[in-house]
Amino acid sequence: MTDFFKDIPQIKYEGLQSDNDFSFRHYDPDEIVFGKTLREHLRFSVAYWHSFAYDGGDPFGGQTFDRPWFGNEMDLAKLKADVAFEMFNILDTPFFCFHDADIRPEGNNFSENTRNLEEMIDYFSEKMAVTNTKLLWGTANLFSNRRYMSGAATNPDPDVFAFSAATIKTCLDATHKLGGQNYVLWGGREGYETLLNTDMGREREQAGRMLQMVVDYKHKIGFEGSILIEPKPQEPTKHQYDYDVATVYGFLKDFDLENEVKVNIEQGHAILAGHSFEHELSLARELGILGSIDMNRNDYQSGWDTDQFPNNVPEITLAYYEVLKAGGFKTGGTNFDAKLRRQSLDPEDLILSHVGAMDVCAAGLKSAARMLDDGKLEALRDQRYAGWNTKSGQDILNGDLESISSKVLNDDINPEPKSGRQERLENLVNKYI
C-alpha cells in the first residue's frame, strides 16, 4: 500500500439521504435495471492519462500537481501503477484505459519504448490477476512526441508512418495480453494546420492503409475486442480528419471497414463538432457502429476540449437513452476522459471527481431506463412516422417518380402540416429526470 490516498475510505452506495461526500447517492452497483446490474450497464472506466499522468499544466503555466510518481524512471512508473490500482479499488471501477506513454517511461528509441512497455504490462498483469480491474481499452499515444508533429499515419515522412505502425503493434499486443475489450485509435495529429503544405488525398489514403493493417493484425493475433475510432473535429490540429461520426463512417465505407471498426464517442468532441452528444450516439446506433463512450463535458463558453467531469443529468439521460436503445454496451463502456481542474490539488479531489461523475451517470442511466420503459416518447415519435407503415406510404417508398406523380394526381394528395410537438416532448423528458 502507498500512503497517497491515506484516510480515504472505500466508496459505498449510501443512497439519497446520505450526507457523506465519500459515498454514492445514485450509483448502487448491484441495482438491477432491465435485467442487468448498474455495474454491468455502465462499465465505468478510469482514464490513466488524466488521473495519473496530467500534471495540471495549461498553455500559460506548468505543473501544479505534486505527485510522488512524476518523473521518467521505471520505479516511478510502478509507483504510479500502485496508486492507480488503489484508486480503482477505492472506487470499485471495473475498468481502466491507457496510452503506452501514460504507463511507461519514455525511451530514447523504439526498442527502449517497447522494453519499458513490456515491463509495465507484466506489472499490470500481476495487479490485474489479484484485483477486479479489467482493461476497457488500450491505445498508442501518437501525438505528444515531437516526431508526430506532422501526423502519425498521415505524416508526409514514411518513416514516421513506420514508427507509428510499429508502436501500434506493441500497443495492440499489450492490450491483447491484458485481455483488453477494445483498442482505440484517436487520430491526435491526423489532420492539418494549413492546406498550403498538405496533400489531403494522399494523407487520407495513408490513414486508410494504416487502419487496414490494424484490422489485419487484430485478426492475425486473435484479438477479439473491438477496434474503435474516436472522432474529434479539431484540437490539436486545426482540422482533424476524423471529424465526427458521419465523417468516420464515410471513411470506413471507403476502405471497406464498416463492419470491422466502430466508434468511441466523446461528449466534448461531439460538442466541438457542433453536435450534441446524443446526436453522435444516435447516428452511430443507426449505422451500427456504436462502440464505447468517453464521458466528460466541455465548458460551454470556452470552445475548447476542457475534459471536465460530467455533471449534467438531463444531458446524460439523453446519451444513455441512445446506449440503451442500442441494446447497451457490448465491448464498450463509460470511460471518464476527464481531468481535474488545475487548482484541484488534493488526492481526495481525484476520488470525489469520479464519485460525482459515477453518480450523475447512474442517475442519467436510470432516468433513461424509465423513459424507455414507459414508452411514451417512442410512441409519440412512432406516431409522427405512422404514415410510412400504411400501404400508401409503402407504395410511395417503393415507387418511382412517374408512379408517384400519378398517385398524387389520382388520390388528390394535398398534405396538411402537423405539429412537431417539441415542447410537449421536452416536458415529457423532464418527467423522468
Smallest CA-to-CA distance from 171 within 237, 99, 236 is with 99
Contacts with Ni ion in 303-342 (CB under 5 A)?
305, 337
Set of cell numbers at residue 10: 472505500
Minimal distance, residue 397 CB to Ni ion, in Å: 39
**Does the annotation mark 41 as catalytic?**
no
Q: How far is the CB of 167 from ligand XLS (least distance, A)?
A: 13
Residues 343-351: contacts with CB under 8 Å, at least 24 apart? 343/64, 345/56, 345/64, 345/65, 345/66, 347/4, 347/5, 347/8, 348/8, 350/51, 350/87, 351/5, 351/8, 351/11, 351/22, 351/87, 351/90, 351/91
Among 102, 173, 244, 266, binds ligand XLS (CB under 6 A): 266
CB of 354 to ligand XLS, least distance (A): 16
Q: Binder to ligand XLS among 93, 113, 133, 139 (CB under 6 A)?
A: 139
DSSP 292-358: EEEE-B--TTT-S---BPP--HHHHHHHHHHHHHTTS-SS--EEE-----TT--SHHHHHHHHHHHH
Q: How far is the CB of 263 from ligand XLS (least distance, A)?
A: 12
Binding mask 169-208 for ligand XLS (x = CB under 6 A): ---------------x-x----------------------
Burial of 377 (0-12, 13-18, 19+ CB in 10 A): middle
Query: With contact defined as beta carbons under 8 Å apart, do 281 and 293 qualify?
Result: yes
- Draw the binding track, 225-244, toward ligand XLS (x: CB under 6 A; -: no contact): -----x-x------------
Of 284-343, binders to ligand XLS (CB under 6 A) are 294, 305, 337
For Ni ion, the binding residue among 190, 203, 266, 322 (CB under 5 A) is: 266
Nearer to Ni ion, 266 or 359 (CB): 266
Task: Pick the closer one to ligand XLS by CB: 164 or 367.
Answer: 164
139 touches, from ligand XLS, Ni ion, none (C-beta below 5 to 8 Å by class): ligand XLS
3-state secondary structure of 210: helix
Active-site entry in 26, 41, 99, 269: 99
Closest approach of ligand XLS to the CB of residue 294, in Å: 5
7 is catalytic: no
Answer whether 292's CB lies under 8 Å from 407's CB.
no
Catalytic residue among 92, 102, 173, 244: 102
Nearest Cα to 292, choosing from 271, 256, 322? 322
Residues with catalytic function: 99, 102
List of residues contacting ligand XLS (CB under 6 A)? 99, 139, 184, 186, 230, 232, 266, 294, 305, 337
